[in-house]
Structure 1
Amino acid sequence: MSNTIHTVTAEPKLWTKSFMIMTMSNFLLSLNLLMITPSLPAYVADTYQAGSLTVSLVVSLFALSAIVTRLFAGRSFERFKPMTFLWIGLAIYSLSTGAYGIVPSLLLFMGVRIIYGIGFGMTSTAVGTLVTRVIPPLRMGEGMGFFGLANSLAMALGPIVGLWLLGQFGYQTLIVTAFILVIIVFPLLLNLKSSEPVGSPKPTKSGSSGPWMDRKALLPCLLNWLMTITYGGILTFITMFGKEAGIGNVGMFFLFNALAILVVRIFSGKLYDRFGHLAIVPAGCVLFGTGLLLLSWSHSTSMLIMAACVYGLGYGALQPALQAWTVQRVAVERRAAATGAFYNSVDLGVAVGSLLLGAVATMTNYAMMYRISALSAICMLLVYGGYLWKTRRVSAVNSDESVSA
């Protein structure tokens, strides 16, 4: 009789050694990127006497090379040993980080920028895929929420720390610090070898030669792309909007946006795991759309902070849920390709948002640009509603056929 007391199924453990190592590695890799990126435009302009178009090209080369790399990374991930693939990407990422401080010409600097994007494309795909293998399937939403929180913290701290190092100690100190952050990841990953995956089963090699984009991953990636278009408009134009609206410290938007993301990810992942994407997507769309409207009407710091919090709640709940949904919709052996596609949807969304919303702002103003960008939330709801309608219609047809049979 006493033995039967222990038959209650315990909740699978999320905070394993492997999960903590992958999350910390993700934070350090993202912090490296977000410390360097805001400092590059001014450095390139001053050091190489580059114009605005050249500076834009230097900045864009990273995103382009990372996107192209991920198209191949998903297919190559399983052909190599996954950890070998990660080691190669990490070596490229660390060496190119160090090279930022020693290249003597603008042309070589552009080359380093491309190699840096290749390294980041490989490491982000590998880390993002490997973490899905150490998260228990029943806690995928919660796990991806905390894993993605590392990106959010890096997004909040990286620009502040990077610009402070640049201003106080100079460019070389910034690069050395960023290089050290990547080096720390190497011993962390050595510890990973002794920690066995606790989540999904390891994939077979049979799926590694499939198409670059799994159709099952298309829907959540499309929804994420629509959402990150709006973030591209915020990243690129919020400083100009602040001048237009007479708001001084627009950097407060990013701080409170990060705080809201931190709060919402504590419980949104559990909601996803218990009730599915239906509990997250509609509410998240309403929140981030409302945040954009509040931002467009902001004429004070307090209004800006309110907009940042509402936007952050929506964005912070949606993105990890969409990433978890992406990897859950595909076969285990296709997760690397799905992860790469998801990260590409982020980069493409930011790039398209910068270009498209910049054209809108040119024709109107920045406030109207943010109101128009809120239409992205409506587009997401329409696409998601269409998916639900189609799914229920197919289920009804299948149910009728089973009854008639």
Structure 2
Amino acid sequence: MENKPRLWTGSFLNVCASNFFVFLVFYLLFVTMPIYTMESIGVAEGEAGLVITVFLLAAIFIRPLSGQWTESFGRKPVVITALSIFLGSTFLYLWFESFSALLVIRFIQGIGFGMGTTALGAIAADIIPEQRKGEGLGYFAMSMNFAMVIGPFLGLTLVQKASFTVMFIVCIGLAAIAFLSGLVTRVVEQKVPAQRSLVPSMQTLLEKPVIPIALTGAVMALAYAGVLSFVSVYANQLGLAEAATYFFVVYALVLLVSRPFTGKWFDQYGENVIVIPSIIVFGVGLLTLSFSNTAFILLVSGGLIGLGWGTLVPSMQTIALKKVPEKAGAATATFFTIFDIGMGVGSYVVGAIATGIGFSSLYFNSSFIVFGAVGLYFLLHGRKVRTNKGQQVEYSR
């Protein structure tokens, strides 16, 4: 039996833990901050969304820079700086006095989030053995997936059962754990250039080989944004509010069961064998969601979307890293910068579209955008890949 290099090292567990707690704070506040601004500050519903928009804009802005900083100054200095900013800004939630001050805090925290998740992704890519890259990044991505399930549930529970002050204190504790996990992670630093700059040139901000797969991801993120942002609203309209609370639980359970297989198959058979079926499964999940009229069908759609989308993101990130393996930080930053733009645009656009056509029609039409992404993926990347069973993927140059 072939001996595989070890994956579950202390460093890998620490970087996964740090990533989990950063995203846990992100998703906890994602669902509760608009409520907080309306109930505690008296901000109008239309302006409440700014607390999310400002955060995401800061993260999108900082990602390309942080990707270059990880290459120029090293992974560990960037991740410690980022997690310090993230933790420090979380403390500030206890002492601000106006909505404008809150937006400033959200922007600062978004910078820490964008820098931190980029650097943590680069560290994970360095730690994972090359022969288990797809499998390892799949498990790393699960730390974000589980945070997406636990964060909203924890946040809404704290708001309902305790208070916003208690919620902020809990966030401080979670951010502190993220900082400590990042601090104790052992990093094998790459060789840094002799000349370093805080402001990289425009030519180095984005890694061009990564852009095609990132664009493919961004197109599908447009469709997924409608699930993340509005599936609970859609379920309420269907009278399935109780079932909606389990939607992402089923999503996470399917991920947990499938991850050991999909990651290994990616490494063994190559990306096309995993990515193309995953896109189709994601599209079928959206189509099923559009026809949901019972709790069972709604939860089945959650499982299909979890299997499809949950497999796609780490797979596409792995492809991005394979494009420029010597620049893991820049590759990660490029991928998620473009990906986040798709998610941000999607969150706004699908809301506007759903107002006119309804959520059922929105998900129905979104499924065909995803099915069309099979052709986009093949055109931009898949046709350039030759896979040999049991061997490394080779790229045609």
TM-score norm. by structure 1 comes to: 0.89
1:402 alignment counterpart: none
Amino acid at match of 1:256: V
Note the 1:187-202 alignment, pairs <5 A. 187-193=180-186, 197=188, 202=190
Cα 1:381–1:206 change in 2 (3 A) is: farther
- Pick from 145, 151, 162 the counterpart of residue 152 of structure 1: 145
C-alpha displacement of 1:307: 0.8
2:346 alignment counterpart: 353
Amino acid at match of 1:253: F
Measured in 1, the distance between the counterparts of 2:334 and 2:195 equals 16
Deviation by residue 1:156-176 (Cα, 9 ceiling, x = unmatched): 111111111122221111111
Contact 1:233–1:357 (CA under 8 A) maintained in structure 2: yes
C-alpha displacement of 1:187: 3.3
Amino acid at match of 2:371: I
Measured in 2, the distance between the counterparts of 1:240 and 1:149 equals 25
C-alpha displacement of 1:107: 1.1
Amino acid at match of 1:26: N
1:107 alignment counterpart: 100
Does residue 270 (structure 1) correspond to residue 264 (structure 2)? The answer is yes
C-alpha displacement of 1:203: 4.7
2:291 alignment counterpart: 297
Measured in 1, the distance between the counterparts of 2:256 and 2:2 equals 30
2:205 alignment counterpart: 212
Deviation by residue 1:44-96 (Cα, 9 ceiling, x = unmatched): 11222111221111221000011001121112222223211111111110011
Unaligned runs of 5+ in 2: 387-397
Does residue 56 (structure 1) correspond to residue 44 (structure 2)? The answer is no
C-alpha displacement of 1:387: 3.7
Cα 1:48–1:296 change in 2 (3 A) is: same
Contact 1:22–1:131 (CA under 8 A) maintained in structure 2: yes
1:401 alignment counterpart: none
Measured in 2, the distance between the counterparts of 1:292 and 1:48 equals 37
Kindly report the root-mean-square deviation, in angstroms, between the aligned alpha carbons of the 2 structures: 2.1
Contact 2:226–2:347 (CA under 8 A) maintained in structure 1: yes
Larger Rg: 1
Note the 1:17-36 alignment, pairs <5 A. 17-36=10-29
Deviation by residue 1:154-207 (Cα, 9 ceiling, x = unmatched): 1111111111112222111111111111212333334324xx64xxx8355289
Where do 4+ consecutive residues of structure 1 move more than 6 Å?
none
Contact 1:233–1:350 (CA under 8 A) maintained in structure 2: no
C-alpha displacement of 1:16: 1.1
Measured in 1, the distance between the counterparts of 2:231 and 2:310 equals 19
SS in 1 for 2:49: helix
1:247 alignment counterpart: 240
C-alpha displacement of 1:212: 1.2
Does residue 177 (structure 1) correspond to residue 152 (structure 2)? The answer is no
Amino acid at match of 2:276: P
Deviation by residue 1:355-403 (Cα, 9 ceiling, x = unmatched): 222233233221110011112222321112224675379xxxxxxxxxx
Cα 1:388–1:319 change in 2 (3 A) is: closer
Measured in 2, the distance between the counterparts of 1:377 and 1:203 equals 40
Question: Which sits farther off after the overlay, 173-182 or 256-265?
Answer: 256-265
Unaligned runs of 5+ in 1: 1-7, 394-405
- Pick from 22, 28, 36 the counterpart of residue 43 of structure 1: 36
Contact 1:262–1:316 (CA under 8 A) maintained in structure 2: no
Deviation by residue 1:213-247 (Cα, 9 ceiling, x = unmatched): 11111122122212221221012222332243332
**Number of equivalent positions:** 380
Does residue 95 (structure 1) correspond to residue 83 (structure 2)? The answer is no
Measured in 1, the distance between the counterparts of 2:385 and 2:318 equals 22
SS in 2 for 1:202: coil
Contact 2:59–2:111 (CA under 8 A) maintained in structure 1: yes
Does residue 322 (structure 1) correspond to residue 323 (structure 2)? The answer is no
Contact 2:89–2:105 (CA under 8 A) maintained in structure 1: yes
Contact 1:264–1:316 (CA under 8 A) maintained in structure 2: no
